[in-house]
Structure 1
Amino acid sequence: MAASARKPRSAAFGLLPLLLTTALLLGCGCVRAAPSGAEVTQVPGFDGGALPSRHFAGYVTVNESHGRRLFYYLVESERDPANDPVVLWLNGGPGCSSFDGFVYEHGPFNFESGGSPGSLPKLQLNPYSWSKVSSVIYLDSPAGVGLSYSKNQADYQTGDLKTAADSHTFLLKWFQMYPEFLKNPFYIAGESYAGVYVPTLSHEVVKGIRGGISPKINFKGYMVGNGVCDTVFDGNALVPFAHGMGLISNEIYKEANTACQGNYWNVVSDKCERALSKVDMEIDGLNIYDILEPCYHSTSIKEVTKIPQSFKDLGVTNKSLPVRTRMLGRAWPLRAPVRDGRVPSWQEFASKAATGAVSGVPCMSDEVATAWLNNESVRSAIHAEPVSSIGPWLLCTDNLDFHHDAGSMIVYHKNLTSQGYRAFIFSGDHDMCVPYTGTEAWTASLGYGVVDSWRPWFINEQVSGYTQGYENGLTFATIKGAGHTVPEYKPQEALAFYSRWLAGSKL
């Protein structure tokens, strides 16, 4: 976990005038110091009138000599941006854009197809946007992902530790650009391979705070959804999950358990391999990201039947919500947890799947996001480089040569929570890509005492999942019926646990 020491901001970035500006802003109570030209004044595809909060977007250069630039999109809180938490959101991959979360999960809009391939999508306000209760920064990281890029192609050879260091540099510079948010509680959140991004970045932030680096970030904790964590725990999670969900018979489960001796991630015998092949064959036709859903979502509309009063107080209305189409590749593939070493791209997995070398990635669509983010009027409106300059936006890129060089995340979680930083670890309980069985096991393995015993949590007097609270501010929770990207499948439940946890109340 060692990383190079960082200099104080005045030395590292040569921005003494900005330090003085920050002090003046915080002293006078001014509410806006955003960089000139960063505000998004109109959003192509949205014709619903004034936005419920201000949006800002643009680039932060994290390495001047290489021209390494990370793209962000800030959605201010609709409630009280001066005091509400600020949350950094990261999607996984590695190599997948955080606009996945913006477009398909908890961003300010619901996106609908424009009607013809490549046409501008239609945007409506999302009643379950996480900006109802917080400001959210969507960051494309590392360089080469989404709208982020580098002028030096060598930067696309990267890994966990370099990604964390760059993201920390981004945060220091971002808070210099937006000093009015320095006093707000700050959290880091993400899903899937961000199960690695979030703890490693949190570690860098805490190290910077303890090292006296300016500006001092008001970091309070972090959230991880269906996140990868540890080779052994994640690798051994699938078979028990499939058995518990009734996807494989008791006979097949017993055969695999006996042949592999409960160790499914590191096959050491032909007998174990044959047993696991039977498991693969039985679950091959399922959507690994949500075993309840078909390969493609339908275009039908799901009705939201009842809105709690607490949500109405946030401005949430009772309306129909489109079921959003899904994407290709969000996390580690089925039965192939990454050991210390290079992480194959999703395109490589798809290619191997075509030859029968590994289980295939399910058929999923990112059509709406691709059409919107490759539209030149959108690129201009959100201050992103044009397609002609940095190429088309891809949900998940194969530009990276990415190495998993941070090891198990368990030591990171132990270190962060033992220092008093709150952690919320949640799982959609029907995700087969990073099954809750592994996450439940590793959270318990930290050895903390239980302070809130396993119990259901509710919305509208209905069970929405289960939770268990531990010492040192660690909470594990499941979301009933949700898949790999929880806010996409269960937006109402996601806003509920998100707002409750940020407020410091029990689930």
Structure 2
Amino acid sequence: MASSVSSSSSTFLLLVVVAAAYFAGSFCRAAPAGAQVTSLPGFAGGKLPSKHYAGYVTVDESHGRRLFYYLVESERDPAKDPLVLWLNGGPGCSSFDGFVYEHGPFNFESGGSAGSLPKLHLNPYSWSKVSSVIYLDSPAGVGLSYSKNVSDYETGDLKTAADSHTFLLKWFQLYPEFLKNPFYIAGESYAGVYVPTLSHEVVKGIHEGVKPAINFKGYMVGNGVCDTAFDGNALVPFAHGMALISEDIYKEANTACQGNYWNGSSADCEEALSKVDTAVEELNIYDILEPCYHGTNVNKSRVPQSFKDLGATSKPLPVRTRMTGRAWPLRAPVRDGRVPSWQELAVSAPSGVPCMSDVVATAWLNNDNVRSAIHAEPVSSIGPWLLCTDQLDFRHDAGSMIVYHKNLTSQGYPALIYSGDHDMCVPHTGTEAWTSSLGYGVIDSWRPWFVNEQVSGYTQGYEKGLTFATIKGAGHTVPEYKPQEALAFYSRWLAGSKL
């Protein structure tokens, strides 16, 4: 009898220990079989810093329309930390832009020779330090996403938002363990349209009782397009404030165009604006402080010979020589109707799209072993990965985003609108103007915010949870230029703290 009691007690204690360990330290998973990424070609650092999952979600069975995602779980506490959907812009640009060049878990180092695989090193400023991040290629035809019906590549803002919402609903069915996590939507550049339109679809679904119920808590937009007039009128004041044009040129343009630069119709206005264009045309529009490479040759003196040359606290490896984003010609903001593709802009520009080179991401994502490791269709099946595709016939059909921002924030969804202050593609002057135009009272007056006791930018807080912030010295893709500062404002905002 004593032996039997002892055996039962031992079994009971073992079950208690196992149960305690399970509930205290584990994350109950329901991920689809075969979705976990167990290793990545180019990464020799051993175990991945957190669990990664990748694959496709079919958003339209009849057309075979499939969107590719890559999930990086939080390195801190994936069971409780926020879950963030990341979208790059274009329209037509892959969110692997953010993964490879901005805030993904790795810094990428060129393999050094043609055809060699890039080397991956851990990124100390990855956004997965404080959150789980889903990188989504959207719409179909972008990055690794595709459709078996080419008619799907005729799309626009509204269809993209609807498809992305369908993706989220199906994704949460595959990963129900994340339904309780605070969920945010974030993106940059043309995602200034993607983010609020998708957020609108999510909120509408919540009101309509669509299941699964998404625990949506807010959204972020970085250097994002918003409104034709505000964006179109931003460049001339920006150029003047940055001493890129003279006081005389500024006064001439302001007088001739009467402050309406994006749609100036008089001959005097056009002549004045041509002087502005001439003054700034040789600059890198994504960061006026960075050099602009006009050919295919990279200035090798600026590229480190090895990762260790950079030191542990350096910014990410400078493996590309231009910053991606919405590359419309100067004074041509996004308007209703068809939006030119990246390649069309390159053809129409006198010397091509400025400062463009994305060799490292292209080499990695078109490697057969990489495609296999991340569960993506091979190049032979869906074609090569391109940073920005020319497959889409894309229409801007959602109008101004101001009405979306007003609607979302008035319902209590916080928004962080941030701008790298040296971006000439979507200048901070326009973003600051439209955020102010919403008419909310200021509750946190214009002031600097800090990282390591250094001014990292400026911020102003409004009612309804609206925050505007600049990042000092950053260009169009803020985490690429200022990774430490980007992680700081990102983590603080997600935590509900003031910047």
Q: TM-score, normalised by structure 2?
A: 0.91
Pairwise CA distance, 1:384: 0.1
Pairwise CA distance, 1:270: 1.1
Cα distance change, pair 84–328 in 1 and its aligned pair in 2 (3 A) = closer
Pairwise CA distance, 1:302: 12
> Does residue 441 of the first structure (1) align with residue 438 of the second (2)?
no
Cα distance change, pair 276–60 in 1 and its aligned pair in 2 (3 A) = same
Q: Is 327-336 or 207-216 further displaced after alignment?
A: 327-336
> Does residue 174 of the first structure (1) align with residue 166 of the second (2)?
no
Residues 364-409 of structure 1 show CA distances to partners (whole Å, capped at 9, x for unaligned) of: 2100000000000000000000000000000000100000000000
Task: State how many pairs are aligned.
Answer: 468
Residue of structure 2 equivalent to 1:69: 66
Residue of structure 1 equivalent to 2:488: 496
- Provide the rounded CA distance (Å) in 2 between the counterparts of 1:327 and 1:44: 25
Match of 1:393 among 372, 385, 396: 385
Pairwise CA distance, 1:303: 11
Pairwise CA distance, 1:363: 2.2
- Provide the rounded CA distance (Å) in 2 between the counterparts of 1:385 and 1:302: 32
- Provide the rounded CA distance (Å) in 1 between the counterparts of 2:468 and 2:314: 30
> Does residue 92 of the first structure (1) align with residue 92 of the second (2)?
no
Pairwise CA distance, 1:361: 2.2
- Provide the rounded CA distance (Å) in 2 between the counterparts of 1:110 and 1:279: 37
Q: Is 91-100 or 292-301 further displaced after alignment?
A: 292-301
Pairwise CA distance, 1:267: 2.1
Pairwise CA distance, 1:327: 4.8
Please list, as runs of the form range in 1=range in 2, the aligned pairs for 1:100-119 lying within 5 A after superposition.
Answer: 100-119=97-116
Report the AA paired with residue 149 of structure 1: Y
Q: Is the 8 A contact 1:69 1:150 kept in 2?
A: yes
Q: Is the 8 A contact 2:155 2:394 kept in 1?
A: yes
Please list, as runs of the form range in 1=range in 2, the aligned pairs for 1:136-155 lying within 5 A after superposition.
Answer: 136-155=133-152
Residue of structure 1 equivalent to 2:3: none
Residue of structure 1 equivalent to 2:249: 252
Q: Is the 8 A contact 2:93 2:387 kept in 1?
A: yes
Matched position secondary structure for 1:74 = strand
Cα distance change, pair 222–258 in 1 and its aligned pair in 2 (3 A) = same
- Provide the rounded CA distance (Å) in 1 between the counterparts of 2:292 and 2:314: 26
Please list, as runs of the form range in 1=range in 2, the aligned pairs for 1:203-218 lying within 5 A after superposition.
Answer: 203-218=200-215
Report the AA paired with residue 169 of structure 1: T
- Provide the rounded CA distance (Å) in 2 between the counterparts of 1:319 and 1:251: 40
> Does residue 450 of the first structure (1) align with residue 445 of the second (2)?
no
Match of 1:323 among 318, 323, 338: 318
Report the AA paired with residue 190 of structure 1: G
- Provide the rounded CA distance (Å) in 1 between the counterparts of 2:365 and 2:88: 16
Pairwise CA distance, 1:335: 1.5
Report the AA paired with residue 454 of structure 1: W
Residue of structure 2 equivalent to 1:352: 348
- Provide the rounded CA distance (Å) in 2 between the counterparts of 1:467 and 1:303: 34
Q: Is the 8 A contact 2:95 2:137 kept in 1?
A: yes
Pairwise CA distance, 1:300: 3.6
Cα distance change, pair 30–291 in 1 and its aligned pair in 2 (3 A) = closer
Q: Is the 8 A contact 2:27 2:78 kept in 1?
A: no
Pairwise CA distance, 1:197: 0.0
Spell out structure 1 runs of 4+ moving beyond 3 A.
300-304, 317-321, 326-329
- Provide the rounded CA distance (Å) in 2 between the counterparts of 1:286 and 1:30: 49
Pairwise CA distance, 1:427: 0.1
Q: Which has the larger radius of gyration?
A: 2
- Provide the rounded CA distance (Å) in 2 between the counterparts of 1:301 and 1:226: 32
Pairwise CA distance, 1:119: 1.4
Residue of structure 1 equivalent to 2:268: 271
Residues 443-479 of structure 1 show CA distances to partners (whole Å, capped at 9, x for unaligned) of: 0000000000000000111100000000000000000
- Provide the rounded CA distance (Å) in 1 between the counterparts of 2:382 and 2:126: 29
Match of 1:135 among 132, 137, 141: 132
- Provide the rounded CA distance (Å) in 2 between the counterparts of 1:290 and 1:374: 28
- Provide the rounded CA distance (Å) in 1 between the counterparts of 2:186 and 2:427: 19
Match of 2:239 among 223, 227, 242: 242
Q: Is the 8 A contact 1:303 1:319 kept in 2?
A: no
Cα distance change, pair 257–143 in 1 and its aligned pair in 2 (3 A) = same
Instruction: Give unmatched runs, 5+ long, in structure 2.
Output: 1-21, 294-298
Residue of structure 1 equivalent to 2:198: 201
Pairwise CA distance, 1:318: 3.7
Q: Is the 8 A contact 2:410 2:464 kept in 1?
A: yes
Percent identity, please.
Answer: 82
Pairwise CA distance, 1:329: 4.7
When the two chains are superposed, the root-mean-square deviation of aligned CA atoms in Å is: 2.0
Residues 227-259 of structure 1 show CA distances to partners (whole Å, capped at 9, x for unaligned) of: 000000000000000000000000000000011
Residue of structure 1 equivalent to 2:303: 299
Match of 1:470 among 447, 462, 465: 462
Match of 1:339 among 330, 335, 338: 335
